[in-house]
Chain A
Amino acid sequence: MPKPKRGAHDMGGDRAGPIDTSEHLPTLTERRIDAMMLLLRAKPRAFWRTDENRRAIESLAPETYRSSGYYQKWAYAMRALLVEKGILTEAEVDRRLAEVRRRYGLPGPAGKAPRRKPAGAPLPAGREGGGPAGAKSGAKPSAGAAVRKSGPA
């Protein structure tokens, strides 16, 4: 029986090249992403759980997932969750991104939010319609997407 389709993150057993076993210390940018994520996730804020963080990363388009570094994916997930939970809006992130780029002398429009897979992810049992709990924007099921029961019994 053939194995079902799987996400880019579900990579156990995939063929890959040699492992770079050398030491790479994280940069300050990466450490800050790590610190912010912990602050946002843990009490007293507890804006989201580890599981939501994982889901947000797994929701990145496969090509984005495969080509992005570890903390790069965390940055994208943090953005998506902050918007999903209504803490920031896409528009203000875009505006600030454009301004930060200008500060560094870079022309052109702000980078768009990275492509994500279409929504339509299963919902927790008992919920009807809508997106994840508490969401104001972000991952709403697209029109016509089937709402699926969560989980095998």
Chain B
Amino acid sequence: MTGEHDHDHGHDHAHGDHDHPAPAHGHAGIQPDSKEPSEDWEFLEIALRELLIEKGVITAREIEDKLEEWDGKCPENGARIVARAWTDAEFRKRLLADGNAAVAEMGFELPGLKLVVLENTPEVHHMVVCTLCSCYPRAILGLPPLWYKSKEYRSRAVREPRAVLAEFGTRLPKSREVRVVDSTADCRFLVLPERPKGTEGWSADRLATLVTRDSMIGTALALSPDGTRA
């Protein structure tokens, strides 16, 4: 796909290793290019960037600023929204009624898009996919994980949700409806996971540490108080 890259970022995320779920505080960082550009599209990026800057269409500074702006968009944002909904019943109601307005209270905007927050309940578990491209609530969660954009996830999520969930280590009773939400138009979906048991009295900050990126996409549940998967 995007070429081979060495991974050296301190976590050993072997395929299938589910003892280390993706942390909510993903480094919004960049993996440095570990080698010189070698694929045609990498040279194309350089060519387009140089031409656009030379012609004054964009500036190098603007690109840098945009990169920095997006460093600030990460799953921790979503975790804060979820934790607030868990601790503030009125905010939760507003969040479910009008996602855009509610997250705007916390400084998040999705211009031109409708944010729909999907409430997980004992009856319904939501899992979000965009089969046609890879629509994702980027303005809140940052860039989507590579698997979300993969043909494997995009193809199989709508037909084999239980098998897909199992690959993420998530197993749910058959009595619970798994509702696969295909993001086909101008809504962007954020799952509001169920609050884990045993967290009575926890502060919102502490609760946020249990809210993983994957629990807000719907391939996982929020973590249990002991840090394991629910």
Contact = CB atoms under 8 A, between A and B. Distances in A.
Contact between chain A and chain B defined by CB under 8 Å? yes
B60 to A, nearest CB: 10
B155 A14 contact: yes
A87 B11 contact: no
Contacts of B3: 69
B90 interface: no
A96 B15 CA distance: 39
B5 A27 contact: yes
B57 A87 contact: yes
Contact of B2 (A38, A40, A70, A88): A70
B173 to A, nearest CB: 22
B179 to A, nearest CB: 15
A25 B27 contact: yes
A1 interface: no
Contact of B132 (A10, A20, A34, A111): A10
Contacts of B97: none
Nearest to B132: A9
A36 B133 contact: no
Q: Identify the interface centre among A38, A72, A78: most chain B CB within 10 Å of its CB.
A: A72
Contacts of A9: 132-133
A142 to B, nearest CB: 25
B45 A25 contact: no
A79 B151 CA distance: 23
A2 B197 CA distance: 48
Interface residues of A, number: 56
A25 B9 contact: yes
Interface in B37-52: 37-52
A93 B48 contact: yes
Contacts of B57: 40, 45, 87
A54 B164 CA distance: 26
B13 A19 contact: no
A32 interface: yes
A22 B31 CA distance: 14
B104 interface: no
A48 interface: no
A121 interface: no
Interface string A62-77: 0000101111100110
B3 to A, nearest CB: 8
B146 A24 contact: yes
Interface stretch (B62-70, B117-125, B201-209, B221-229): B62-70
Contacts of A82: 48, 52
A18 interface: yes
Nearest to A19: B152
A72 B143 CA distance: 16
